[in-house]
């Protein structure tokens, strides 16, 4: 196997024997084959679209299939077998319709490949089309093709989240097909592929805006809310991942059953949504970020539901208590495909739950664009009076590497006259610190999940508008942590917007070649994180 799509890739180079994430070589090969199959499906979809044929089923399937290959989403080989076969079936059906309508589709490669009948042969097919198969390709072209694929993986994830909430835009599907097909086009050079990567970032802004509209349309705008980190005596269900609709369904289905619902990881910000916080049994938050789940889930006395990413190999001690839904999968773990969460509810009722109340401390969430821009006058006045000197956006993914302590140290050392905006699971490095406030404005503002990057961008753009300057001219520094492919596409969105001087850590992506990095540094002055002291000195002087 060879995979280097995420930040924790082995030795900073690539996972070759087993994924650091737990991905087995057979699953790595099946994921590569599924990506190959979606490239063929994309080529056919583009030709069909030119002939006037669009297929909503193919659009949705393509996003789901690509999303399944994101880091820490699906580890179940059988699910990939089904997806690969479905990709080929949908491709053949669409090809026949398109050709009937006059489309000319060149045969060969992923347009005509036929999935093998058995698992072993499918794995061999996947091994033949994985990253090593492009070894002879120019290193920069290979790097940019992978960057584009990983950007599209993040984009497909956000498009899928939005579509679940009824928000779709055909321009997103069109770009996914164009982008995936472009990675097979030998005529495209470095400049073309850089352009496509930035276009991916641009299209992702649409997807993130749709997701924001889906979440706020269904559940209202988040409002500042104190979330208990303790627990209540009683039966318990823990919901992790990012999917608000799954959480809503679990809250509905547990009503009146004597079960308290808790969030884990990226679900924390959901406590700020009026349409979710209305449930009296939606109690509080348990634990921290995804990489701590083995320890935290083992100690949770109730059922656990994983929506979307990020799952790790369950320990034996809680293997029977954990359930997956949507695109998440782990072999041997109970999967709830129908959104009838009865198996998880029954498990929670059969388990002891918490035996006593433990109120604990609380953290504030709900500072998404509506809440922050609602007090924009106060914020602008504080900047003008120099009560606020600087904003730091410290956001992105968390992970297991020791170098991620940088983010904790940085936030601890940021001076008292500065405000920290945060989003995504990287916040768990400092989310429970009391940073106080500046004239009533909290110094730590949690904008939401990684899925709420749209909100962060809207806040930055509105501040730039208020100060009549560009985002790069604001007293704002972006210090980001990345882990997986949603973070890749958010970075591409920021680069598309022309945002410069981003500090990125804890390490730079292994799939970026030295020349491609050079292009990013020259055009955007993107830089690796240093030490907290060095970076604060460089930013604040």
Interacting residues toward ligand SF4 by CB under 6 A: 3-6, 8-9, 15, 19-21, 23, 71, 265-266, 290, 309-310, 397-398, 424-425, 450, 483-484, 486
**Residue closer to ligand SF4 (CB basis): 6 or 526:** 6
Helices and strands, number each (H, E), in the chain: 18, 16
Residue 134 is classified by DSSP as G
- CB nearer to ligand SF4: pick between 221 and 404: 404
d(CA 327, CA 67) in angstroms, rounded, equals 8
CB of 236 to ligand SF4, least distance (A): 21
> Can you tell me the distance from the alpha carbon of 541 to that of 536, in angstroms, rounded to the nearest whole number?
8
161 vs 235, which CB is nearer to ligand SF4? 161
Q: Are 263 and 240 in contact (CB under 8 A)?
A: yes
Nearer to ligand SF4, 402 or 541 (CB): 402
Angle at Cα 129 formed by Cα 84 and Cα 307, nearest 5°?
Answer: 45
Strand partners, 324: 306, 335
Give the shortest CB-529-to-ligand SF4 separation in angstroms: 17
To ligand SF4, the closest distance from the beta carbon of 331 in angstroms equals: 16
CB of 4 to ligand SF4, least distance (A): 5
The CA-atom distances, in angstroms, between 316 and each of 300, 335, 528 are 14, 17, 38
Q: Which is nearer to ligand SF4, 309 or 321 (CB)?
A: 309
Q: Which residue's CB is nearer to ligand SF4, number 26 or number 99?
A: 26
Report phi then psi at 512, rounded to 5.
Answer: -90, 120
Residue with Cβ nearer ligand SF4 (55 or 266): 266
- Quickly tell me which residue has 């790097």 as its tokens: 143
Order of strands, edge to edge, in the sheet holding 476-481?
444-448, 418-423, 390-396, 476-481, 503-505, 527-528
Q: Least CB distance from residue 488 to ligand SF4, whole Å?
A: 10
Minimum gap (Å) between residue 484 Cβ and ligand SF4: 5
What phi and psi, each to the nearest 5 degrees, are found at residue 22?
A: 105, 0
- Minimum CB distance to ligand SF4 smaller for 66 or for 382: 66
CA nearest neighbour of 394 among 410, 374, 376, 377: 410
- Per the structure block, which two tokens stand in for 230? 């303790």
Q: Which is nearer to ligand SF4, 33 or 98 (CB)?
A: 33
**Shortest Cβ distance from residue 453 to ligand SF4 (Å)?**
10
Distance between CA atoms of residues 202 and 63, nearest Å: 17
Q: Which is nearer to ligand SF4, 13 or 533 (CB)?
A: 13
Which residue lies nearest ligand SF4, judged by its C-beta? Answer: 19
Two tokens, residue 295: 């320890």
Beta-carbon neighbour count of residue 7 at 10 Å?
A: 27
- Show the DSSP H helices in 101-239 as ranges: 119-129, 139-164, 170-182, 190-219
- Give me the least distance between CB of 21 and ligand SF4, in Å please: 3
Instruction: Print the SS3 string covering 8-19.
Output: CCHHHCCECCCC
Min separation Cβ 23 and ligand SF4, Å? 4
Task: Give min distance, CB of 16 to ligand SF4, in A.
Answer: 9
């Amino acid at each position: 196997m060879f995979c280097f799509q995420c930040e924790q890739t082995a030795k900073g180079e690539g996972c070759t024997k087993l994924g650091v994430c737990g991905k087995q070589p057979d699953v790595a090969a099946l994921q590569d084959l599924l990506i190959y199959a979606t490239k063929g499906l994309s080529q056919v979809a583009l030709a069909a679209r030119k002939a006037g044929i669009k297929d909503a089923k193919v659009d949705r399937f393509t996003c789901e299939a690509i999303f399944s290959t994101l880091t820490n989403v699906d580890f179940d080989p059988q699910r990939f077998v089904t997806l690969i076969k479905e990709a080929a079936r949908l491709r053949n059906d669409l090809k026949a319709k398109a050709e009937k309508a006059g489309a000319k589709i060149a045969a060969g490669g992923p347009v005509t490949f036929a999935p093998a009948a058995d698992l072993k042969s499918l794995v061999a097919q996947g091994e033949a089309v994985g990253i090593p198969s492009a070894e002879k390709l120019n290193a920069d072209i290979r790097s940019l093709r992978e960057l584009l694929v990983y950007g599209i993986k993040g984009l497909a994830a956000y498009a899928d989240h939005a579509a679940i909430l009824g928000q779709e835009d055909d321009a997103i599907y069109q770009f996914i097909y164009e982008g995936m097909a472009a990675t097979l086009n030998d005529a495209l050079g470095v400049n073309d592929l850089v352009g496509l990567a930035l276009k991916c970032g641009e299209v992702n802004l649409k997807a993130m805006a749709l997701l924001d509209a889906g979440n706020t349309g269904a559940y209202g705008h988040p409002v500042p809310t104190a979330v208990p980190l303790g627990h209540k005596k009683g039966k318990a269900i823990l919901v992790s991942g990012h999917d608000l609709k799954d959480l809503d369904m679990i809250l509905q289905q547990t009503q009146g059953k004597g079960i308290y619902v808790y969030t884990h990881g990226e679900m924390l910000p959901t406590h700020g949504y009026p349409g979710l916080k209305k449930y009296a049994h939606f109690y509080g938050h348990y634990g921290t970020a995804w990489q701590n789940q083995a320890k935290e889930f083992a100690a949770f006395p109730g059922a656990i539901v994983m929506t979307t990413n990020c799952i790790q190999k369950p320990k034996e001690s809680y293997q029977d208590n954990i359930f997956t839904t949507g695109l998440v999968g782990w072999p041997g773990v109970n999967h709830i495909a129908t959104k009838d969460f009865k198996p998880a509810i029954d498990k929670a009722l059969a388990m002891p739950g918490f035996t006593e109340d433990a109120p604990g401390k609380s953290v504030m969430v709900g500072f998404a664009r509506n809440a922050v821009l609602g007090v924009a006058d106060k914020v602008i006045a504080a900047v003008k009076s120099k009560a606020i000197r600087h904003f730091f956006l410290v956001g992105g993914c968390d992970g297991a590497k020791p170098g991620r302590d940088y983010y904790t140290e940085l936030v601890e050392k940021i001076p008292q006259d500065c405000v920290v905006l945060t989003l995504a699971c990287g916040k768990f490095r400092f989310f429970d610190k009391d940073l106080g406030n500046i004239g009533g404005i909290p110094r730590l503002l949690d904008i939401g999940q990684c899925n709420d990057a749209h909100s962060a961008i809207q806040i930055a753009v509105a501040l730039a508008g208020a100060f009549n300057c560009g985002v790069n001219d604001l007293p704002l520094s972006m210090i980001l942590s990345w882990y997986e492919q949603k973070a890749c596409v958010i970075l591409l969105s920021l680069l598309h917007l022309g945002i410069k001087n981003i500090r990125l850590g804890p390490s730079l992506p292994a799939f970026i070649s030295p020349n491609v990095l050079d292009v990013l540094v020259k055009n955007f002055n993107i830089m690796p994180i240093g030490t907290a002291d060095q970076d604060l000195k460089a930013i604040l002087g």
